[in-house]
Amino acid sequence: MTQTASSPRRAVIDWSLCRRVLSLGKRTQVMGVVNITPDSFSDGGLYLDPASAVDHALKLLDDGADLLDLGAESTRPGSLAAAHSALSAGDEQSRLLPVLKAILRARPSAIISVDTYKSATARAAIAAGAEIVNDVSGCTWDAKMAATCAELGCGVVLMHTRGTPGEWRTQSRLQRNETLPLVRDGLAAGLVAAEEAGISRNAIVLDPGYGFGKVLEENYDLLSRQDDLLSLGRPLLAGLSRKSFLVRTVQRAMESRRVVIGPDSQPDQSVSQDARETASVAAMVTAILKGASIVRVHQVRSAVQAAAVADAVLDGG
């Protein structure tokens, strides 16, 4: 029997944050999402009130989240289509900082990431106790972001994004097998640029950016070969929770089997919330088996349970 070469496996690598070092790769780290926004695609408006956001964040920690990712501006498809549609740094911080500070008062040891592409917000959040900047643009939408992160000495998540949210609906489709090389080259370039700006390599985690300028099957092409990105030498974060391409897949499967839509479906949706979560967990487990050290999720408890099984499979391998 001919044995094929195995794909790279995730290594145990230290991630340098502001005030501590987090060891990645021993087991999957689960990052819980807290959207302090009125218009995020899956839970917009649910946690815009600071008290609701804090309660939700504490529940995620109680459910087993290793990290929290706080965001105060939506980057859903169609957002940021014009300059006036972007949230000002001041407004972003007015939503974000009270929640961040309240969480740390309640749980001083919590590890908090801030989902922002604005250097001013990154600076204010790190000063308030956050330790990670999760920039969906890979430090490309704000020319000061990379230098700011270098100065702050924070952990950095560099995501691959193809274009901007305002462009995604009209972008040309990628050819089959074109997605992975595009993402790999983009992340490699982003890694070089970050280091040249003074960000320590040990502070960087890479995110393939599922759904960010990739549609439908393009995301599956990327996910099926995600472990190729481990060749870049940095840990991977995968954010697949509730992505629309997963919903479309489930919708097609249900239609092909003539499954009756459940009573918990929303009026404008043909896939129930439970089905969305099931699809999210399936994609998350795949991402772990394909090398992700961190997974970004909306529902933490089920993610922690599924990640434990995926980690056991990796250990058995």
Catalytic residue, from 10, 214, 242, 296: name it.
296
Q: How far apart are CA 48 and CA 78, in angstroms?
A: 20
How long is the chain? Answer: 317
| pLDDT for the residue 114 | 98
Element (H, E) at 194: helix 179-196
4, with CB counted inside 10 A (0-12, 13-18, 19+), is exposed
The model's pTM is 0.90
Does 203 or 167 have the greater pLDDT score?
203
Structural domains present in the chain: 13-78+86-316 (3.20.20.20)
Least confident of 75-89, 229-243, 300-314: 75-89
| pLDDT for the residue 183 | 98
Beta strands in the chain, from DSSP E residues, in sequence order: 13-16, 21-24, 29-35, 67-71, 112-115, 132-135, 155-159, 204-207, 236-238, 292-297
Render pLDDT for 232-242 as a digit per residue (tens, 0 to 9).
Answer: 999 999 999 99
Split at pLDDT 50, 70, 90, the class of 262 is: low
Least confident of 32-46, 185-199, 301-315: 32-46
Ranked by mean pLDDT, which of 159-163, 226-230, 261-265 comes out on top? 226-230
| pLDDT for the residue 237 | 98
**Average pLDDT for 241-250:** 91
Render pLDDT for 269-284 as a digit per residue (tens, 0 to 9).
Answer: 556 788 889 999 999 9
Tokens matching residue 229: 């990105």
Split at pLDDT 50, 70, 90, the class of 83 is: very low
Catalytic residue, from 184, 243, 276, 290: name it.
243
Kindly write down the DSSP assignment for every residue of 16-36, as one continuous string: E-SS-EEEESSS-EEEEEEE-
Residue 54, pLDDT > 70, answer yes
Does 300 or 86 have the greater pLDDT score?
300
Residue 268, pLDDT > 70, answer no
| pLDDT for the residue 261 | 55
Residue-averaged pLDDT of the chain = 90
**Cα distances (angstroms) measured from residue 58 to each of 68, 112, 113, 181:** 9, 12, 14, 39
Q: Note whether 145 and 139 are within 8 A (CB).
A: yes
Active-site residue flag, 258: no
Active-site residue flag, 214: no
